């Protein structure tokens, strides 16, 4: 993976016209974290801190290591750390920094640090992560937080990058009987199309030799379905009836930057399987058994990399991916999983240790994600529900009436653009606060237990959404939208306050039903929403506890 990544960084350096590889890595790292350039400073060779990042709530000092294992790098940083801890003030420490650009960068960052948390962050692609962890656990300074971004974390970021997603080993597979070899001219360049019959065993063998082969599927709008009858059928046909596999399978569609047929070999550079991912992933589970005579119809669309970077062409490729998958049974949110905004949300949430599952079963398939580092996990439907209910223009009443599908009808519809606006990423702290608030409410509901909800098997989901929207409205009005504390750090008083709100809302809900209010009217009308807002008012004792804790945490 490191070898491929270094090749990628060199190409990125050339594409972005950056002079040094270390600077190219720093710029790429800032970009994938969805940070604006004016909030990032590089020291260019100080040897202590490579990158300084300022966010709304933090100043992050980064040390980047993406070479081979070298314990001396760890020892060198230990000296920098000791000089930091030994200094009586920042000015004393920075006086010992020899690089003038580094001094300027540090001073700029620390001027902004007065009201922010100071964080040391280590991005480590070598094999000395254990040594880095020992340094982190020793503590760098009393007022700092420490993080390790491991090679698996970077691997995840890399898989989300449009260039990185296709930066895999060239594909060489056995092929025969070319049906089409044509060139089409478009407004953004030439597109070459090859259609041929590929030997499946050759394709699987080539993918097994590839490092991190799942990145070949990363531009598909979904990953494989786990334990599906369709998967089992694909596997059974391949093993028991290989000769008929070609006739019963829809085939593969591969996007490549270069491809050609020579004799009985198909060669493709930077391949991305944009349709047929379920077939490939199902067969990869089988190992090397069976199917030696199986063939699969394969279409290869060839678009040079420099053409793929064109905005018009990017849109064209996304349409190909969505349309070629639309003939299969899919939910509307599946077709939005690779939208640029969804990818950017995944990047931004991941650095807050929240895993955003854009694609169904992604969490189960991408096992390289380091589970202990993830504090929360939610999928694309969960986030849509949270954003919709907390939105001033949408809210819980509309969500209760219309559900998810209208939000995801297409990426250009007004509702989708409002719910998944750019502010979800640009104001990521607010997004994280909404997610953690919803998680806190859900855990409190679960802790209460079913016995408290009488004839209902659980606290109604719509009631939970009304409570979430109500609380967020009050917090937003009070200007408390900073990062919400993790549930594990919340005091007992917080849980008691949330439980009190849940009980108040549920008591009102049951009383309204007894008084003759129809279930169709409950949580479906603006009038009921107004009543709920009065039930949990900004002046209630429970809300005052919540507000006080969040202000103290901020």
- Residue 76 CA to residue 78 CA, distance in Å, equals 5
Over the stretch 423-444, which tens digit does the pLDDT of each residue have? 998 888 889 999 999 998 888 8
Is 186 within 8 Å of 162 (Cβ atoms)?
no
Is 337 within 8 Å of 317 (Cβ atoms)?
no
How far apart, in Å, do the first and last CA atoms of the chain sit?
39
Lookup: tokens for 484 = 């919400």
Residues in contact with 98: Cβ distance below 8 Å, sequence separation at least 6, in sequence order: 46
Classify residue 280 as left (phi > 0), alpha (psi -120 to 50) or beta.
alpha
Is the pTM higher than 0.85? The answer reads: no
Under DSSP, the state recorded for 96 is T
- Polymer length in residues for the chain: 554
Contacts 24+ apart (CB under 8 A), 358-365: 359/221, 359/222, 359/223, 359/334, 360/222, 360/223, 360/225, 360/331, 360/334, 361/222, 361/223, 361/224, 361/225, 361/226, 362/223, 364/226, 365/214, 365/223, 365/224, 365/226, 365/281
- Residue 386 CA to residue 465 CA, distance in Å, equals 8
Among residues 394, 470, 378, the alpha carbon closest in space to that of 431 is found at 378
Phi first, then psi: what are they for 109, rounded to 5°? -65, -45
- Residue 160 CA to residue 440 CA, distance in Å, equals 29
- Residue 378 CA to residue 363 CA, distance in Å, equals 10
| pLDDT values of the chain reduced to their tens digit, one per residue, 554 residues | 556 666 777 777 777 777 777 677 777 777 766 555 555 655 554 445 667 776 666 667 777 765 444 445 445 545 555 555 555 555 665 666 666 666 666 666 555 555 566 676 777 766 555 555 555 555 444 445 667 777 777 777 776 765 555 567 788 898 876 777 777 777 777 888 999 999 999 999 888 887 667 778 877 777 765 567 778 888 899 988 988 999 988 899 999 989 988 888 999 988 888 888 888 888 888 876 666 789 999 999 998 877 877 777 877 887 788 777 766 667 888 888 888 899 889 988 887 889 999 887 788 766 666 666 788 899 999 999 999 999 988 888 888 888 888 898 766 788 899 999 989 988 888 899 999 999 988 888 877 765 555 555 556 777 888 889 989 998 888 888 876 766 556 777 888 888 888 888 777 777 777 777 666 666 677 777 777 777 788 888 888 888 888 877 65
Over the stretch 205-217, which tens digit does the pLDDT of each residue have? 888 887 667 778 8
- Residue 396 CA to residue 309 CA, distance in Å, equals 39
The reported pLDDT for the residue numbered 142 is: 41
- Residue 101 CA to residue 41 CA, distance in Å, equals 9
Among residues 179, 121, 187, 191, the alpha carbon closest in space to that of 154 is found at 121
Grouping H, G, I as helix, E, B as strand and the rest as coil, residue 351 is coil
Lookup: tokens for 195 = 């259609």
Lookup: tokens for 262 = 């020579």
CB atoms within 10 A of CB 466: 28
Distance from chain centroid for Cα 197 = 35
* Cα distances (Å, whole numbers) of residue 362 to 281, 282, 554: 12, 14, 33
- Residue 2 CA to residue 15 CA, distance in Å, equals 20
Under DSSP, the state recorded for 176 is E
267 CB-contact burial (10 Å; exposed 0-12 / middle 13-18 / buried 19+): middle
Phi first, then psi: what are they for 216, rounded to 5°? -65, -25
The reported pLDDT for the residue numbered 363 is: 81
């Amino acid at each position: 993976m490191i070898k491929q990544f270094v090749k990628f960084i060199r190409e990125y350096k050339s594409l972005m016209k950056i002079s040094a590889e270390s600077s190219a890595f720093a710029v790429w790292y800032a970009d994938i974290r969805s940070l604006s350039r004016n909030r990032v400073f590089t020291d260019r060779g100080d040897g202590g801190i490579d990158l300084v990042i300022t966010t709304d709530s933090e100043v992050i000092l980064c040390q980047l290591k993406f070479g081979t294992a070298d314990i001396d790098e760890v020892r060198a940083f230990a000296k920098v750390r000791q000089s930091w801890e030994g200094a009586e003030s920042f000015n004393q420490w920075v006086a010992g920094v020899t690089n003038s650009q580094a001094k300027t960068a540090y001073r700029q960052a620390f001027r902004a640090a007065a009201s922010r948390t100071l964080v040391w962050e280590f991005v480590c692609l070598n094999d000395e992560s254990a040594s880095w962890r020992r340094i982190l656990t020793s503590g760098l300074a009393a007022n700092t937080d420490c993080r390790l971004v491991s090679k698996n974390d970077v691997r995840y970021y890399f898989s989300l990058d449009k260039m990185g997603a296709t930066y895999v080993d060239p594909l060489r597979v056995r092929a025969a009987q070319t049906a089409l070899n044509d060139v089409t001219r478009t407004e953004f360049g030439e597109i070459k199309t090859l259609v041929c019959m590929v030997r499946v065993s050759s394709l699987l063998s080539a993918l097994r030799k590839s490092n991190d082969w799942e990145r070949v599927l990363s531009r598909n709008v979904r990953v494989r379905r786990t334990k599906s009858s369709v998967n089992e059928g694909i596997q059974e046909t391949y093993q028991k009836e290989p000769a008929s596999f070609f006739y019963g399978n829809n085939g593969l569609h591969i996007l490549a930057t270069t491809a050609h047929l020579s004799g009985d070999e198909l060669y493709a550079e930077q391949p991305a399987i944009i349709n047929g991912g379920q077939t490939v992933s199902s067969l990869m589970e089988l190992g090397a058994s069976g199917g030696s005579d199986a063939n699969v119809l394969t279409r290869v669309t060839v678009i040079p990399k420099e053409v793929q970077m064109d905005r018009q062409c990017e849109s064209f490729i996304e349409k190909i991916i969505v349309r070629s998958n639309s003939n299969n049974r899919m939910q509307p949110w599946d077709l939005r999983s690779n939208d640029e905004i969804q990818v950017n949300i995944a990047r931004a949430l991941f650095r807050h240790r929240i895993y955003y599952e854009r694609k169904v079963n992604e969490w189960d398939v991408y096992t390289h994600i380091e589970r202990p580092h993830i504090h929360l996990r939610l999928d694309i439907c969960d986030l849509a529900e949270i954003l919709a209910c907390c939105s001033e223009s949408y809210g819980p009443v509309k969500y209760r009436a219309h559900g998810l599908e209208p939000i995801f009808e297409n990426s250009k519809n007004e509702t989708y653009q409002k719910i998944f606006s750019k502010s979800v990423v640009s104001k990521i702290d607010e997004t994280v606060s909404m997610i953690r608030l919803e998680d806190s409410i859900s855990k409190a509901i679960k802790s209460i237990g079913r016995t408290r909800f009488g004839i209902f098997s659980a606290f109604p989901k719509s009631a939970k959404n009304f409570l979430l929207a109500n609380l967020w409205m009050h917090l937003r009005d009070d200007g408390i939208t900073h990062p919400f504390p993790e549930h594990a750090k919340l005091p007992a008083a917080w849980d008691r306050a949330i439980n009190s709100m849940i009980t108040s809302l549920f008591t009102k809900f049951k009383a309204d039903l007894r008084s003759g209010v129809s279930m169709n009217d409950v949580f479906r009308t603006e009038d009921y929403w107004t009543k709920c807002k009065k039930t949990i008012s900004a002046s209630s004792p429970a809300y005052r506890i919540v507000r006080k804790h969040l202000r103290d945490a901020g």
